[in-house]
Amino acid sequence: MPGLFDPLPLRGLTLKNRVMMSPMIQVSAGEDGRATDWHLVHYGSRAVGGAALLMVEATAVTPEGRITTEDLGLWSDAQVEGLARVASFCRSQGAKIGIQLAHAGRKAWSRERGLGPQGAVAPSALPFEADWPTPHELSPAEIEGLVVAFRRAAERALKAGFDVVEMHAAHGYLLNEFLSPLANRRVDAFGGSLDNRLRLPLAVVASVREVWGQRPLFVRVSATDYAAGGIDLARMVEIARALREAGVDLLDVSSGGVTPEQPASWPGYQIPFAETIRREAGLPTAAVGLITTTTMAEEVVRNGRADLVVLGRELLRNPYWPLPAARSLGGDLPWPHQYERAR
């Protein structure tokens, strides 16, 4: 089996190793949704540090789909230039760069929460929590408009020079809300059966694939809702099979977020989800969730439990984590010539 620092080919793109930086919102864009110098330094440092794939944080496909007013956006052509600057620098350092396209659904900023000009939207008029605003239930025409919004955002991501695009269908945001019967109580073609609840995510994937061509397309999912009546791992395997048939190249496997309840976490607690989906759905996966040590990361890849290891907080603490990690496993990564004296 390959190891953590062996290459990974994905639909014509080859990652130089199996380390990916998790998409983590930085709350550092202006209200116009444009990337700033913070994003250049933040992502650029991890590119210099040796990670093979950097996944840019949740980037909203509509202004009202932001999690906060300072989220990145790709709903406007004016937002391409700043992200192109980030992508260009990261690629110049030998990294590949992806972007996560998202709509926050009922968990978005809203007028009622004092964060925006209009209320949140969702598959059903069900608030995330009792003291949250009740979202507007999307009409079929509005749903079709969101498919177009994801497609146009993907077109802009292509212009900005991204290598990978990831649809955010996890953590209780819009696409996850459509998948989960806890948030989706519709009685039309977008609710009820799993096939119906998959209709919007599959339509988004198909629409994005048309413009994204033969480049890798990921989906981040929540493998379980951690709640009775919600998505569980067995059902997520079914969803993964449908996404594979739709042309998704890799599932980025997280968990929870549709309800406020979240169980205790521990190092590597989500790895078994990625492992099961990989084995039973026949789809490459990325494992994420408090993976901090080289030993744990290497074990995940070496034993075929996932194809990518996704680091979040550890790369916030140490942007250059991959460089000493590779050496500790008996290998080496190229260092930027500016840093060679510290090698």
For 48-80, the pLDDT digits (tens) are: 999 999 999 999 999 989 998 899 999 999 999
Domain coverage including residue 180: 8-332
- Whole-Å CA distances, 191 to 13, 127, 183: 36, 17, 10
CA 136-166-292 angle, to 5 degrees, is 110
Question: For residue 22, what pLDDT is reported?
Answer: 97
The length of the chain, given as a count of residues: 343
Is residue 299 one of the residues assigned to a domain?
yes
pLDDT, one tens digit per residue, over 24-52 is 999 999 889 999 999 999 999 999 999 99
Is residue 293 one of the residues assigned to a domain?
yes
Q: Is the pLDDT reported for residue 7 higher than 80? A: yes
Here the tokens at position 122 are 């969702």
Is residue 338 one of the residues assigned to a domain?
no
Is residue 235 one of the residues assigned to a domain?
yes
Percent with pLDDT over 70 in the chain: 97
Percent with pLDDT over 90 in the chain: 87
Assign 131 a pLDDT band (cuts: 50, 70, 90): confident
Is residue 107 one of the residues assigned to a domain?
yes
Question: How far apart (Å, rounded) are the C-alpha atoms in residues 195 and 87?
Answer: 36
Question: How far apart (Å, rounded) are the C-alpha atoms in residues 274 and 50?
Answer: 23
CATH code of 238's domain: 3.20.20.70
The total number of structural domains that make up the chain: 1
Assign 93 a pLDDT band (cuts: 50, 70, 90): very high
Question: How far apart (Å, rounded) are the C-alpha atoms in residues 43 and 308?
Answer: 18
61 and 146 Cβ atoms separated by less than 8 Å: yes
Residue in 210, 213, 236, 234 with CA at minimum distance from that of residue 223: 236
21 and 70 Cβ atoms separated by less than 8 Å: no
Question: For residue 31, what pLDDT is reported?
Answer: 85
- Say whether 310 sits in a helix, a strand or coil: strand
Is residue 3 one of the residues assigned to a domain?
no
Question: How far apart (Å, rounded) are the C-alpha atoms in residues 208 and 212?
Answer: 6
Pairing status of strand 8-10 against strand 285-288: unpaired
Is residue 342 one of the residues assigned to a domain?
no
Backbone angles phi, psi at 14, to 5 degrees: -115, 120
Is residue 2 one of the residues assigned to a domain?
no
